[in-house]
């Protein structure tokens, strides 16, 4: 085990898989000599060369289009979209091509590609560079959606995603790249569709994604001082979703908060809440409570940005309300 930041964990996973399989290559804006917008790809171009760490024009349509074509003929591309907000540009290639080719060609075509894209707020990047759009992609059959929170999960889930024969949307929170933790020297794949319990509890289950996992753990520490036992569950992958783990936790605590950074309206928390209402209703002592960003574009102003996003205090308040 070595202590690594999330950025280093991602780079280690990329390095391992590129060394293991020469079909794996990276493409995107500034991923080569510059080392990536957030420094994630680092010196990989010096190790693997320009052919396998390819700087592209400023065209998300070209990046994803090239990746879909390369994947369809047997390569395993890992395209990086500099900000997840820019995924709105190549939506046709993702939604109408990558997601559907395996189905429409009767299983004869595979599209093994991993789209890496930074999401989230926290760096005052304003409305066009701070969104969390993961729910859009969970709605599309044929796409897998991964959203880790811890360095070792980033590494293991990225390895699993690269080895998967399906297109995977791999969302990385841009304000979390510096968070560190232990990562194995040899990274084993973590199966997609398996949730992780970061904290055991008996009174309330908090189901959280990405940065909200860390805020939920901090809130759980505070609530413990008041005698409230909180379980923090991280789905890690949204598609496939570990409904079995969610149902087991709900049956234990009987109260649920779902929290994510994305806008609350139609966020993925609504899907989780709907599953609990339909399949776990008899386990509930209270209605499921959802927390998400306010229905507004992300402000540039840091104080306003912090105001619209769920925080530790709001999680604590929601928990205390459920305990009444």
Angle between helices 151-163 and 6-20 (to 10 degrees): 30
Within a domain: residue 191? Answer: no
156 and 211 belong to one structural domain: no
24 and 64 belong to one structural domain: yes
| Helical (H) or strand (E) element with 156 | helix 151-163
138 and 92 belong to one structural domain: yes
139 and 237 belong to one structural domain: no
pLDDT over 90 at 6, yes or no: yes
pLDDT 10s digits, 163-173? 999 999 999 99
Kindly write down the DSSP assignment for every residue of 235-252, as one continuous string: -SEEES--HHHHHHHHHH
119 and 212 belong to one structural domain: no
Active site residues: 129
179 and 316 belong to one structural domain: no
Q: CATH number for the domain including 178? A: 3.40.50.970
Within a domain: residue 27? Answer: yes
123 and 64 belong to one structural domain: yes
Cβ–Cβ < 8 Å for 61, 90: yes
pLDDT 10s digits, 66-98? 999 999 999 999 999 999 999 999 999 999 999
Please state the rounded mean pLDDT for residues 33-61.
Answer: 97
Could you give the number of structural domains in the chain? Answer: 2
161 and 235 belong to one structural domain: no
Q: Pick the closest to residue 136 from 238, 226, 248, 242 (CA basis).
A: 238
167 and 27 belong to one structural domain: yes
84 and 133 belong to one structural domain: yes
What span, in angstroms and rounded, lies between the C-alpha atoms of 67 and 94?
10
pLDDT 10s digits, 60-73? 999 999 999 999 99
204 and 289 belong to one structural domain: yes
63 and 88 belong to one structural domain: yes
Q: Report pTM.
A: 0.97
Residues 6+ apart with CB under 8 A from 142: 98, 99, 100, 102, 103, 166, 167
What span, in angstroms and rounded, lies between the C-alpha atoms of 98 and 107?
13
What span, in angstroms and rounded, lies between the C-alpha atoms of 206 and 23?
40
Domain assignment of residue 273, given as a range = 196-323
Within a domain: residue 189? Answer: no
């Amino acid at each position: 085990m070595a202590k690594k930041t999330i950025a280093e964990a991602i780079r280690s996973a990329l390095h391992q898989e590129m060394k293991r399989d020469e079909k794996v290559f990276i493409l995107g804006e500034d991923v080569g000599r510059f080392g990536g917008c957030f420094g994630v790809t680092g010196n990989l171009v010096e190790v693997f060369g320009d052919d396998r760490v390819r700087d592209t024009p400023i065209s998300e349509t070209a990046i994803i289009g090239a990746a879909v074509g390369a994947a369809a003929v047997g390569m395993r591309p890992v395209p990086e979209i500099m900000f997840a907000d820019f995924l709105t540009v190549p939506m046709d290639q993702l939604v109408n091509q990558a997601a559907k080719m395996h189905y429409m060609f009767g299983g004869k075509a595979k599209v093994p590609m991993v789209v890496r894209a930074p999401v989230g707020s926290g760096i005052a990047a304003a409305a066009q560079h701070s969104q969390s759009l993961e729910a859009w992609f969970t709605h599309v059959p044929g796409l897998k959606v991964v959203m880790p929170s811890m360095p070792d999960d980033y590494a293991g889930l990225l390895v699993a995603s690269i080895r998967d024969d399906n297109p995977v949307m791999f969302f990385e929170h841009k304000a979390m790249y510096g968070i560190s933790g232990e990562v194995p020297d040899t990274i084993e794949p973590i199966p997609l569709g398996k949730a992780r319990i970061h904290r055991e509890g008996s009174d309330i289950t908090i189901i959280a994604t990405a940065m909200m996992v860390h805020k939920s753990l901090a809130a759980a520490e505070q609530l413990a001082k008041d005698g409230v036992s909180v379980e923090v569950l991280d789905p890690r992958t949204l598609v496939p979703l570990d409904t079995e783990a969610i149902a087991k936790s709900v049956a234990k605590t009987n109260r649920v908060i779902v929290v994510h950074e994305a806008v609350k309206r139609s966020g993925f928390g609504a899907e989780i809440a709907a599953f609990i209402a339909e399949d776990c209703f008899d386990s509930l002592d209270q209605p499921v409570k959802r927390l998400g960003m306010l229905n507004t574009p992300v402000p540039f102003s840091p104080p306003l940005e912090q105001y619209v996003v769920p925080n530790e205090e709001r999680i604590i308040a929601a928990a205390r309300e459920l305990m009444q």
